[in-house]
Structure 1
Amino acid sequence: MGNSEKTKNYLENYRKKLDEILEQIDATVLTQVIDVMIAAFKSKNTIYVVGNGGSAATASHMQADFSFFVRYFTKFRPNIIALTDNVPIITAVGNDTSFDDIFVEQMRGRFKPNDVLIAISASGNSPNLVKAVEYANSIGGNTIAFIGFLGGKLKDLAKVPLYTPNPKGDYGPIEDIHMILNHVIVNYLSTDEEFLALTEN
């Protein structure tokens, strides 16, 4: 089998993995995610996004999409912050206290009741995400988790867990799906009448 055929077969198998995960997305839960975000935008609350590694990149991408795409195509200015992006604070907290605290320390004194925390994780078990979700819940925040594998602790901790199972350790496809979910939400909101009504205010 030539390299071209091997590549073609691998690509097809990878596509099938993505299709299998996409088919497992619960549209009802995705609607809950969107509703929580719209409610936060309506009430002028802030949405915070966190993740590690590839999921940190997705968190930053989500902030970029909402900051640029939504602002570019509407008059609305959504308040969404990726806590993955302040490298000095992350390294200071990680060095001086614990890497497990890099997100929760940024939330203290800033995160308010009815603010939203979106935690993105393949495993759902990252200690720094677990602590952040626990903190958000403790002060009356709304918590959302994008999770894969077996769901992990975030499946039970998050108020709205968007769980799409996939084989443990197979990071690529689940991280791809989380990025797709970001794009689905952003593009959906750009056509949603309720959301667009906010842009006129």
Structure 2
Amino acid sequence: MERTELAKNYLNDYVGRLTDILNQIDPEKLGQVITTFIEAFKSGNTIYVVGNGGSAATASHMQADFRFFVRYFSKFRPKIIALTDNVPMITAIGNDNNFDDVFVEQMRGQFTSGDVLIAISASGNSPNLVKAAEFANELGGTTIAFVGFLGGRLNEISKVPLYTPNPKGDYGPIEDVHMILNHIIVNYLATDEEFLALT
């Protein structure tokens, strides 16, 4: 079989796996996530985003979209911080303390009641994300989790878990879905009257 045909078969298989996950998105949970965002924006609270590896890139991408892309349809600038972006801070904490603390240490003295933490993870079990979510819950924040596989610990402890099951170890499609969720949310805001009324 020629490589073109093999690639076509793999493409169809991958798209099928991706579609299966997208079809499992719970509209009610998605609505809760969007409502949480808008309420935080209205009250002047900050949204913090965390993740590891490819999910760290999604966290950074989310910050860019919410801080810059929204300018195309709104003058409002949301307060959103990707705790994945400060490499000196992350390496200092990881080297001098523990990698499990790289996010929670950045939250100390900064995260307050009413703030929101979004933890993005394929497995939902990354210790540094779980620790950050537990800390946010203790301070009266709202925790949102974008998780796949079996949901993991984040699915259990997050106040608004957006869990889309997929086979354990199949990272590509679930990471794609988490990026798509980011794009769905930020593009939806362009149609939301309550968000568009913010100044």
Report the TM-score, using the length of structure 1 for normalisation: 0.98
Which amino acid is 2:193 matched to? E
Given residue 59 of structure 2, which amino acid in structure 1 is its aligned partner? A
Q: Map of 1:63-74 to 2, 5 A cutoff?
A: 63-74=63-74
The CA deviation at 1:73 is: 2.8
Report SS of the residue matched to 1:167.
coil
Tell me the alpha carbon deviations over residues 59-86 of structure 1, each in whole angstroms, 9 at most, x when there is no partner: 0000000111113431001000000000
Determine the structure 2 residue equivalent to 1:122.
122
Distance 1:133 1:180 in 2: 22
Whichever residue aligns with residue 110 of structure 1, its letter is Q
Partner SS state of residue 24, structure 1 = coil
User: 1:38-53 alignment to 2 at 5 Å?
Assistant: 38-53=38-53
Moved more, 63-72 or 138-147: 63-72
User: Hey, what does 1:131 align to over in structure 2?
Assistant: 131
Secondary structure of the 1:145 match is: strand
User: How many corresponding residue pairs?
Assistant: 199
Q: What one-letter code is carried by the residue in structure 2 that aligns with 1:112?
A: T
The structure 1 segments of at least 4 consecutive aligned residues displaced by more than 6 Å after TM superposition are: none
Which stretch of structure 1 is more off in the superposition, 70-79 or 98-107? 70-79
Partner of 2:148: 148
1:174 aligns to what? 174
Q: Distance in 2 between matches of 1:72 and 1:116?
A: 24
- Alignment partner of 2:152: what SS? coil
Structure 2 gaps of 5+ residues are none
Query: Could you say which residue in structure 2 is the equivalent of 1:106?
Result: 106
Q: Give the superposition deviation at 1:194.
A: 1.1
Between the aligned partners of 1:182 and 1:53, the Cα distance in structure 2 is 17
* SS of residue matched to 2:41: helix
Matched, 1:80 2:84: no
SS across alignment from 1:191: coil
Distance in 2 (CA, whole Å) between partners of 1:187 and 1:181 is 10
What residue number does 1:31 align with?
Answer: 31
Aligned to 1:188: 188
Q: Distance in 1 between matches of 2:71 and 2:77?
A: 6
**Aligned amino acid, residue 91 of structure 1:** T
Matching of residues 48-59 of structure 1 within 5 Å: 48-59=48-59
Aligned AA (1:81): I
Amino acid at match of 1:21: I
Helix, strand or coil for the counterpart of 2:177?
helix
In the aligned structure 2, how far is the partner of 1:141 from the partner of 1:40?
Answer: 10
Secondary structure in 2 matching 1:84: coil
**Per-residue CA distance 1:105-129 (angstroms, 9 max, x = gap):** 0000000000000000000000000
- Matched residue, 2:22: 22
